[in-house]
Structure 1
Amino acid sequence: MIKSIPTHFYYNKTKAWALIGNKFAFNQYNSFQKAPRGVVMCPNKHMEIEYCEVFPKVGELPVVKVKTQLGWKTLDSLYNPEKDAQELLKHGGNAYILLGCGSGYLMKELLKRNPERVLAITGSDFLYKKNIKLLQNNNILTSQITLLHCAHPSHEFFKKLRNFSQDFPDGKAITHIGECQTFPHIFNPLRMYVEYLKHNFPQRQTRKIKKVLFPQQGFFLEPDVEEELKLRGIEVVTEKSFAHTSVSEAQALHILENHSPDIIFSINNRGSDRNGFMADACSFTGIVWATWFLDSPSFLVSDRECRKEQGRWAFCWDVAGIEPCQRLGFEKVKMLPLATNHRLFKPGKGKDELTGKLVYVGSPSFGDEERYFASLRRKPQAYRIAELFQNKVIAERLLPTLHEIEDALRQEKIDKTCFTQSEIQRLPAFILYTANLIYRVNALRAVADLNPIVFGDGWEGLLPGQITILPYVDYYRDLPALYRSDCVHLSLTHLQMRYYPNQRIFDAGACARPVLSERLPGGRELFGDEVDDLFYRDNDELHEKAAVLLENWALRHELGQKLNNLVQARHTIAHRVETILSSIASS
């Protein structure tokens, strides 16, 4: 049985320390041979620290493992790496592009074939040195094989791939799956570019948007945006959402060749696959890629799918989305508040049984949240940490940082290892999720004596008996009539939004009905001072204003009409689509 040496590493500038058992061993970064047997440490510019572990020999070469955020990745098979390398090269050839070199088995097998030219790219400084040594031991000339270490897929590497493909049009591209999966941020764009070079795909020069590819998932506002695009004479082609799918490089190009759009547009990142091949394909072919975030990008975008060079457009429903988009790699980020479909939500006949009532439409959480936090909801330690931060999150509408959470874990003497790495990454959002539930429950309890009606699933056992709980209502089928009713609506904006109010004030406002909403910084920007009486600072003021409106029909009518005028003039889906199109056109 193959055993690995238990190791812990710390890297600082050009020095590396290895802790083996209880003893420290020191070695200079460039002197790998002095490191303890079986342990290698080297820096990687993207991951900051690169942890490598060398297994005892399986064949003629050892096998390397690299530690990633998701655990240890073995670059080559532990069972028969030589045979795997032979399989990759079985179709022969005289010139090769190697995307990933692995532990050396692929390079060793390639040398047996004496190719005319090879361009090899590795994502690891250690693997680069390892394969260079293999070439030197075999007296291979650098004019025959070019080996490059890529820490980031810059223009330089794309240029080298293009030049090589032009010089050797019949060259074979070999993907070392183990290394490509270990360093996806490096190899996914390079893989997509190599596939692009195989095709005679003309570079697009979009002057005017005439055709939109619109991947959808049946999410609200998708049909509304599609309708607005069509009303402008733009052809809209719909596809199933690419999000969380494994679209291959070839499939990404096939989709673009088949539809030939000017732009891929989506709601909540549904125009991107988990590897970012669709967005990379767009950037290489000159097709615009854009999305409108209606939820936090942190929940919706994987770390490996986005980079600034793709030129992605991100329109954010709230300021809370700006920093995550920039961190994740979106190049162009612009604020775009929520809005209403003014053709669907408009004044008219409502439900008589709701006249003079206080109404809230919404469930305690979204279905996506339930799935996203499924494992954390089974751990009492997660709820303990959430409890520590809930008051601060409610007051400031800000997620705690991972550093703050780790400090809290230490203070509470909670073993961090009770969470997986993925769960640690989700803890800030879980804290927000639990705080938001408490926030909405507390607000509804504060107005319980006004006998409000709540439409939504999952409230059982959370609210006092004075509150009537009715079933969930469908956004398109049931909600317009409900919002037309002569009642007072509650907003209770999700805590992930800290600048603008949520959808309710736009939809109910378009129906000329008043909506009580939190006094957020962006409220005045959207609505000015004309409906200032609809905004409250705390639950006491919420109760006070709700009581006044419930007793005063004339005031309800006046504020509802003013809100309707503002929404119709500035905050419809038509306005937002115009902003999206004009922003892209001006760039």
Structure 2
Amino acid sequence: MAVRERAEDRVADGGVRESVDSLLRRPSSPLKRAFDYPKCAAEKVRVVVLSTGYFLERGVSRAFKESGHEVAALPAGKGAPDVLKALLTLGAEFKPDLVLSFNHLGFDEGGILAGVLDSLQVPIAVWYVDSPTLVLRGRSENAKGNVAVFLWDMSYEPAMRELGFDRVEFLPLAADLATAAGGKWRERRPPPAAFVGNSMLDPASDWEGRIAWTAGLKASAERVRGRLAGGRPRALAEGLLREEGLGEGARFFEIAGAVTWRATLEYRAGIARVVGECGGAVFGDPGWRKVLGPVDLRPPVHYERELPALYRAVPVNVNATSLQMPRAVNQRVFDVPAAGGFLLTDDQTDLHDLFDAGREAAAFSSAEELREQIAWFQSRPEERERIVQAGRERVRRDHTYGHRVRTLIERMRRFCREEAG
């Protein structure tokens, strides 16, 4: 999730950077003339999506196209050569109104790509659906005047503004109806309840392995982890670490990531354990065996080809939100009702803003309540179906990628008008 590559050399080799810098210093260079056109002014918007294989790309790009806009995907993931040169070549012909990235993927840590686009007055929209603080790690080089940040969880707004991002907007996740309608599940007999998800064992171990732990540091991290895993209302690990006096130093964000993923592992394990004790199954990676011990563990399910059908087949789908999200709801809150399945999710602040909780969504606040709710809903198929129908209608009305694309374009049009004058 975090920017791990030292991407300056990947974004542009030295010769390309030198040539671009030289052209940008000239008042009337061919490069500047190629990008000198009104942005976001026409009814049809042209969007360059920095393509890194992230799971949101396909659904969001399809939503842009279905809304009548044009999309050009630019490979910008690991192994993609010279992103800056490719973007300038594509942009001079395609004339983009904006460049879209998810989680700042495709951008370099040093802000080279963002700086060039800023000089050319090309707007950048960055939609964060993972912790921006763990991605950026306190670096502000990408906080240019042409950047608008869209957050799925507004708990991060103060941190982003502190880094220098002036335009910060709320943009929650949504459903891809094309994906939700499909799916074919390989099993004939669904379990009475299911939890689908990663154990987080590998991410937690990976982040913990980057840190030289001392006894005092480990004790502080343990206290924060415990508060994260059991706390309500939820908080960000970064804030809790600062309360422990650990708010300085290069390792701060490594510690925050390690604590967040270990706490998420423990929290998810508690939820998955209840599902198993209620006769349900866990679908996920082998790490669950180490975390839970004996459990009805079934193989991972393909997100597009199988998961929607599983959601429809299982009577009670259970959801546990990552602890990087103090208030937001995750992808499953939209995907399950969109697919026609019943979801029992942990209670989050944003759930009540996005759905009519109780009528369009069902929620629990503790492991004990989850146990009761699973039994209650398993014995009441009519009540489950009522919530499924209401939730699906709400998603179709307000929470598709088409809705999010329209919001993003509206905000970017406003941004361009402000810049123009």
TM-score (norm 1): 0.60
**Residue among 436, 446, 462 paired with 2:291:** 462
Structure 1: runs of 5 or more not aligned = 1-180, 182-188, 409-415
Q: Partner of 1:399 in structure 2?
A: 237
2:175 and 2:210 mapped to 1: Cα distance?
A: 35
Structure with higher Rg: it is 1
Q: Contact 2:150–2:169 (CA<8 Å) still a contact in 1?
A: yes
1:230 and 1:455 mapped to 2: Cα distance?
A: 33
Cα deviation code 1:67-111 (max 9, x no counterpart):
xxxxxxxxxxxxxxxxxxxxxxxxxxxxxxxxxxxxxxxxxxxxx
SS at match of 2:179: coil
Q: Partner of 2:55 in structure 1?
A: 220
Q: Partner of 1:293 in structure 2?
A: 128
Shift in Å, 1:400: 4.0
1:462 and 1:468 mapped to 2: Cα distance?
A: 13
1:327 and 1:320 mapped to 2: Cα distance?
A: 13
Q: Which amino acid aligns with 1:484?
A: R
1:513 and 1:279 mapped to 2: Cα distance?
A: 41
Matched, 1:494 2:332: no
Q: Contact 2:276–2:296 (CA<8 Å) still a contact in 1?
A: no
Q: Partner of 2:141 in structure 1?
A: 305
Shift in Å, 1:386: 2.6
1:273 and 1:539 mapped to 2: Cα distance?
A: 42
Matched, 1:555 2:383: yes
Residues 440/474 of structure 1: CA separation in 2 closer, same or farther (3 Å cut): same
2:308 and 2:89 mapped to 1: Cα distance?
A: 40
Q: Contact 1:294–1:316 (CA<8 Å) still a contact in 2?
A: yes
Q: Which has the higher contact order (CA 8 A, sep 6+)?
A: 2
2:133 and 2:81 mapped to 1: Cα distance?
A: 19
Shift in Å, 1:242: 5.9
Q: Which amino acid aligns with 1:204?
A: Y
Q: Which amino acid aligns with 2:38?
A: Q
Q: Partner of 1:513 in structure 2?
A: 341
1:432 and 1:488 mapped to 2: Cα distance?
A: 27
Residues 526/366 of structure 1: CA separation in 2 closer, same or farther (3 Å cut): farther
Mapping of residues 554-573 of structure 1, within 5 Å = 554-573=382-401
Question: Aligned residue pairs: how many?
Answer: 387
Shift in Å, 1:489: 0.7
**Residue among 360, 367, 386 paired with 2:195:** 360
Which has a greater percent of strand?
Answer: 1
SS at match of 1:460: helix
Shift in Å, 1:260: 3.0
Q: Partner of 1:263 in structure 2?
A: 98
Residues 547/425 of structure 1: CA separation in 2 closer, same or farther (3 Å cut): same
Matched, 1:439 2:275: no
Residue range with higher mean Cα deviation, 396-405 or 223-232:
396-405
**Residue among 399, 405, 410 paired with 1:577:** 405
Shift in Å, 1:366: 8.3
2:360 and 2:152 mapped to 1: Cα distance?
A: 22
SS at match of 1:495: coil
1:565 and 1:491 mapped to 2: Cα distance?
A: 20
Q: Partner of 1:345 in structure 2?
A: 180
1:367 and 1:547 mapped to 2: Cα distance?
A: 32
Structure 2: runs of 5 or more not aligned = 1-8, 10-16, 416-421
Cα deviation code 1:304-342 (max 9, x no counterpart):
5322x4231111111233223223322211111111101
1:490 and 1:262 mapped to 2: Cα distance?
A: 40
Q: Partner of 2:3 in structure 1?
A: none
2:407 and 2:204 mapped to 1: Cα distance?
A: 30
Residues 288/572 of structure 1: CA separation in 2 closer, same or farther (3 Å cut): same
Query: In percent, how many aligned pairs have the same letter?
Result: 25
Matched, 1:324 2:152: no
Matched, 1:426 2:254: yes
SS at match of 2:25: helix
Cα deviation code 1:40-74 (max 9, x no counterpart):
xxxxxxxxxxxxxxxxxxxxxxxxxxxxxxxxxxx
1:304 and 1:244 mapped to 2: Cα distance?
A: 25
Q: Partner of 1:116 in structure 2?
A: none
Q: Partner of 1:129 in structure 2?
A: none
Cα deviation code 1:396-424 (max 9, x no counterpart):
3321445334369xxxxxxx9xxxx5333
Detail structure 1 runs of 4+ shifted over 4 Å in the superposition: 189-195, 242-255, 347-352, 366-373, 378-383
Shift in Å, 1:300: 2.0
Which has a greater percent of helix?
Answer: 2
2:213 and 2:301 mapped to 1: Cα distance?
A: 32
SS at match of 2:126: strand
2:21 and 2:166 mapped to 1: Cα distance?
A: 19
Q: Partner of 2:372 in structure 1?
A: 544
Q: Partner of 1:586 in structure 2?
A: 414
Q: Contact 2:321–2:346 (CA<8 Å) still a contact in 1?
A: yes
Aligned-CA RMSD value: 3.2
Q: Contact 2:201–2:265 (CA<8 Å) still a contact in 1?
A: no
Residues 346/251 of structure 1: CA separation in 2 closer, same or farther (3 Å cut): closer
1:230 and 1:423 mapped to 2: Cα distance?
A: 42
2:185 and 2:330 mapped to 1: Cα distance?
A: 22
SS at match of 1:462: helix
1:219 and 1:246 mapped to 2: Cα distance?
A: 18
Q: Contact 2:153–2:328 (CA<8 Å) still a contact in 1?
A: yes
Q: Partner of 1:390 in structure 2?
A: 225
Q: Contact 1:252–1:281 (CA<8 Å) still a contact in 2?
A: no
TM-score (norm 2): 0.82
Residues 366/229 of structure 1: CA separation in 2 closer, same or farther (3 Å cut): farther
